[in-house]
Structure 1
Amino acid sequence: MKKKIMSGLLILVLLIVGITGCGSQQRSDETGSSGDEEGQKTFVFGDTTFNAENGEPDINPHNDNSGWACIRYGVGETLFRFNDEMEMEPWLAESCENVDEYTWKIVLREGISFTSGRVMDAEAVKECLEDLVKNHPRAAENLSIAEITAEDMTLTIRTSIPVPALINYLADPYGCIYDVQAGVTEEGIVQGTGPYRAVSLTTDSEMELVKNENYWNGEPKIDKITVRTISDGDTLTMALQSGEIDAAYGMPYASYPLFENDNYTFTSCETSRVFFGAMNFESPVTSDPAVRKAIAMGIDKEGFVETLLGGNGYPAAGVYPDNVSFGGDVVSAESYDPEGAKQVLEEAGWVDTDGDGIREKDGTSLVLRWLTYPSRQEQPLLAESAQATLGEIGFQVEINNTADHNRIRTDSDAWDIYVSAMVTAPTGDPEYFFKYHCLDSSSNNDGHYHSDRLEELAQEMAKTFDADKRAELAIQMQKVILDDNAYVFCSHLRMSMISKANVTGLTAHPCDYYEITVDLDIE
């Protein structure tokens, strides 16, 4: 049935595109997104995720998740960055020395200026990082900065506790360095060091960029870039087909066949972005260990990946993908076993006494309130898949697919499982996910999960500098949360961007950060 529904949707999209294609193509030929009336080279990028719903109302990296937009669209850069193997390398920094467990000395690269015109030196970076920890709670917790001193091009950071992953955290998008003295406009625009400068921004609509004529690392090739927020997958599909945009991020997998021809180019890579559900430990339903175990056993990960993702991903064994030392087969999640899940529920007293297909226990029906959101195009599909497979073992799954999820998830009485998508290793280090989601102090411990053992392991990781030991601790920490079925990890994603064939220099990256760069060009 699910395959038939997906096929029907794809046929509908094809019919719509076929009907509108001739007129839309004429518009593309007349306007020409690769150049405007003055002969400037232009580029239009459609993105489903650049919106307030995802914590990106602007490009101020000190505001929620807006650092992702700042770094993705070529406005901001960080002191350090990741290469294609997710290894650390200097970017705005030239070198780094870990003097002792509390002290880091960073030498900055010479000859870099902000788009405001101010030279980037140690004092400018100091001002930016001090403003960051003042205004961004997660950054303040991660970095634990006690003092920063600046002398010419040398920045010295002293932390209040040992922070082994400090350099990794400085590569997080919130670490984009911008000119604090130039300020942040009412629109949320900052003056960074990247190849492009934002000149206008309307939340949930679009942003206009122009080339940074004085960029330090080469000459940008595009004169003007428009980033358009297109949260609806079908609308994004038709925008690329009609030529209204030159490239797209977040295209629904069901639309991929439309672009598998010589007119378009795919750039893809495996990422640590995972679809996963957080259990609500204050819910009378998911506070029951048997229910959590049955949920983990009742979701068909393989079927979801093959049927609904079209193979653009792979079933998740745990927090991390199998291309990192602390992920993949080193941990073992529950396998899809609907009959086993039924037995688990039966033994725990969840039985269908009235024959309506829904189990009950002590007068409470086995209703699972599934909270998710639409901007990640496959999230609703995962919800519908789980609704079907969990329904077969006695759950009644009620789906709340809403852009208002960030408000609702703070209300423990409003949901039982919150399913989202997250890049679990964006800093190339395993500590990130646990600090963000799983600990008593975590800002996004939405289900109020607690484990004494996990807290102990997290404290040990926080003071461990050896990379191999950190990986070993990460494996143990994953086993703790999987044994508790505190989270169910469904699938890691293969991230793709699709562009017209005449676009070059748009390359997918494992950390999902670097999209619009100095290499971007359009013929």
Structure 2
Amino acid sequence: MILFVLAGCTSATEGQQSDNPKELELLFNFAARSLDPNVDSSYVPLRAGITETLVHLNDDTLKLEPWLAESWESEDGQEWIIQLKKGVTFQNGNPMDGKAVKASLERSIKDNVAIKNALRIATIEADGLQLTIKTISPFPEFPSELVHPNTSIIDVTEPDFINKPEGTGPFAVSSFIPGTAVDLVRYDGYWDGVAKLEAARFSFNEDANARSLALESGNADIVFRPEVQNLEILEALPGIKVESTSTFRVHQMTMNLERETMKDIHVRKAVDVLVNRQSIAETILKGHAEVAEGPFPSTFSFAPDYPEKLTGLEYAKDLLAQGGYEIKEGVMEKQGKPLVLTLLTYSARADLPLIAQVFQSDAKQLGIAVDIQQIEVPEEYMAANRDWDLATYSNLTAPRGDAGYYLNATYHPHGALNFSGADDAALTALIDELNKTVGQEARSAIAEEIALYVDEQVYNSFILHPNTLVAYNADKVENWVTSKSEYYMLTHTLDVK
């Protein structure tokens, strides 16, 4: 409460706090140690309503919508004219104009290699509220990349990006305790109408059970991804509402293709058939998931019809036999060398360690030793280390309603999420063709071809599409929307009774 009162004295809020301020606390499942919106992988600045991007994704229609950009157009897919909204200011009162946006985008490109590779910007020119952006080559889907949270627009003249970025969103940073919480205060100069909440706290706890207990005790008003095993308990509490929404996410078994063991397609296929997707969805996720055949949920136009997937120990044993493996004295080995797999997992998504344990147990029945290692930040570890074979990983595959994001990031040699080390000339050529193609029907056809190729080569094993689970106090919270993209959380319309 002291933090909220102090927040009312900041320059972000023009009016005075009321005696009973409208405020709430959202408890998130990833701990942010930085609020730098251009490099932070937890996307807290966007989710907490501190920053905004040029383009917005409509979760219902999967269509791109203007946000800080009023419009965009291109005649050749390479030179883009972007008109910015009038009257938008940063939380420090400075105007958001072409010069400021240019500086912000150039800063994100400079400091984030993944964004540099995703945007492929050659030059940016600013004239008043107009930007002229040229990409390195024709890039018809360029606007969809401007939805990415790491392209959030900030005032780069304010240097404390880690603790207090100055964005254009409805809430300004009051204080930030890395790994614990960010306290927010309403920005009364917000361009799209003053937020209904006067203050909010976006806090972090990677323990799913602790998040559930926080809601039960009233220490949190909204909890992102509560403990699945406790959902019935939460649903039985007076006033508590649990929402389970299909999303664009996939839980997958990422394979390190640079490891000698995983270079063998027979081993990769054996790993894939060892994963009992239906059982995992029913027991670990309690039915709050769709069994995955590939990276994209079946509702997308670019999700192909896959060949029937086999599951079971005998199929895995046969595949390994084709690769020269055999069981001797209860140990799966090849030329006297036991098959041992190092499997990474992380606790911020509570179901992933459980999936790892189930896989470890099933593999043990075939004499395969699986060494599970817990890591904290999967993106950082997998990018910097190659001492692992497999990793349970969760990824948004189509957060902009198009297949290009995931396929480029995951399978292109320069992809930001290419932790497998995939470098397949045929696959890269297909992705490059996709990047030049205009029209959703034509793009979907190429995306299907890529997805089928990835499935044939078993470059990753796709387990399930988990629902987004959110529980909140419906007696207090109003206008909460569980976003499929998981990008938009604390909005200017969110309210309390």
| Aligned partner letter, 2:402 | D
Does the CA contact (< 8 Å) of 2:327 and 2:366 recur in 1?
Answer: no
- 1:485 corresponding residue in structure 2: 458
Whole-angstrom CA distance in 2 between matches of 1:240 and 1:86 = 31
- 2:8 corresponding residue in structure 1: none
Q: How many residues align?
A: 478
SS of the aligned residue for 1:199 comes to strand
- 2:28 corresponding residue in structure 1: 47
- 2:259 corresponding residue in structure 1: 283
- 1:384 corresponding residue in structure 2: 357
The match for 1:446 among 419, 433, 442 is: 419
Whole-angstrom CA distance in 2 between matches of 1:199 and 1:411 = 34
| Residues 413 and 198 of structure 1, relative CA distance in 2, 3 Å threshold | closer
Whole-angstrom CA distance in 1 between matches of 2:56 and 2:367 = 48
Superposed CA offset, 1:147-167 (max 9, x none): 212222222111121122210
The match for 1:515 among 473, 484, 489 is: 489
- 1:223 corresponding residue in structure 2: 198
- 2:160 corresponding residue in structure 1: 184
Does the CA contact (< 8 Å) of 1:283 and 1:412 recur in 2?
Answer: no
Query: Taking every aligned residue pair, what percent have the same amino acid on both sides?
Result: 28
SS of the aligned residue for 2:326 comes to coil
- 1:149 corresponding residue in structure 2: 125
Superposed CA offset, 1:247-302 (max 9, x none): 11121211211211342122332111111122122323222211111110110001
SS of the aligned residue for 2:233 comes to helix
Q: Measure how far apart 1:517 and its partner are.
A: 0.4
| Aligned partner letter, 2:26 | F
Does the CA contact (< 8 Å) of 2:256 and 2:386 recur in 1?
Answer: no
Does the CA contact (< 8 Å) of 2:342 and 2:372 recur in 1?
Answer: yes
- What are the equivalent positions in structure 2 for 1:114-153 lying under 5 Å apart? 114-153=90-129
Whole-angstrom CA distance in 1 between matches of 2:495 and 2:395 = 29
Does the CA contact (< 8 Å) of 1:267 and 1:498 recur in 2?
Answer: yes
| Residues 456 and 493 of structure 1, relative CA distance in 2, 3 Å threshold | same
Q: Measure how far apart 1:199 and its partner are.
A: 1.6
Whole-angstrom CA distance in 2 between matches of 1:118 and 1:73 = 21
RMSD, matched Cα:
1.8
Of 462-471 and 442-451, more deviation after overlay is shown by: 442-451
- 1:338 corresponding residue in structure 2: 313
| Residues 203 and 239 of structure 1, relative CA distance in 2, 3 Å threshold | same
Whole-angstrom CA distance in 1 between matches of 2:379 and 2:53 = 27
The match for 2:231 among 256, 281, 293 is: 256
Does the CA contact (< 8 Å) of 1:332 and 1:479 recur in 2?
Answer: no
Whole-angstrom CA distance in 1 between matches of 2:229 and 2:291 = 18
Q: Measure how far apart 1:338 and its partner are.
A: 2.5
- What are the equivalent positions in structure 2 for 1:236-255 lying under 5 Å apart? 236-255=211-230
1:105 aligns with 2:78: no
| Aligned partner letter, 1:47 | F
Superposed CA offset, 1:50-80 (max 9, x none): 33xxxxx2222212425x1111111111111
- 1:171 corresponding residue in structure 2: 147
| Residues 93 and 256 of structure 1, relative CA distance in 2, 3 Å threshold | same
| Residues 333 and 174 of structure 1, relative CA distance in 2, 3 Å threshold | farther
SS of the aligned residue for 1:150 comes to strand
The match for 2:173 among 189, 198, 209 is: 198
Does the CA contact (< 8 Å) of 2:38 and 2:149 recur in 1?
Answer: no
| Residues 107 and 246 of structure 1, relative CA distance in 2, 3 Å threshold | same
Of 464-473 and 491-500, more deviation after overlay is shown by: 464-473
What residue ranges of structure 2 are gaps of 5+ in the alignment?
1-16
Whole-angstrom CA distance in 1 between matches of 2:231 and 2:244 = 12
The match for 1:425 among 398, 412, 420 is: 398
TM-score, length basis structure 1: 0.88
Whole-angstrom CA distance in 2 between matches of 1:404 and 1:464 = 35
| Residues 333 and 92 of structure 1, relative CA distance in 2, 3 Å threshold | farther
- 1:399 corresponding residue in structure 2: 372
Whole-angstrom CA distance in 2 between matches of 1:460 and 1:174 = 25
Whole-angstrom CA distance in 2 between matches of 1:101 and 1:76 = 27
SS of the aligned residue for 2:398 comes to coil
- 2:449 corresponding residue in structure 1: 476
Whole-angstrom CA distance in 1 between matches of 2:317 and 2:342 = 19
Does the CA contact (< 8 Å) of 2:344 and 2:374 recur in 1?
Answer: yes
Does the CA contact (< 8 Å) of 2:55 and 2:68 recur in 1?
Answer: yes
Does the CA contact (< 8 Å) of 2:222 and 2:473 recur in 1?
Answer: yes
Does the CA contact (< 8 Å) of 1:268 and 1:496 recur in 2?
Answer: yes
Q: Measure how far apart 1:439 and its partner are.
A: 2.1
1:434 aligns with 2:407: yes
Q: Measure how far apart 1:488 and its partner are.
A: 0.2
1:210 aligns with 2:185: yes
Does the CA contact (< 8 Å) of 1:317 and 1:333 recur in 2?
Answer: no
SS of the aligned residue for 1:515 comes to coil
Of 496-505 and 259-268, more deviation after overlay is shown by: 259-268
Does the CA contact (< 8 Å) of 1:412 and 1:447 recur in 2?
Answer: no
Of 72-81 and 394-403, more deviation after overlay is shown by: 394-403
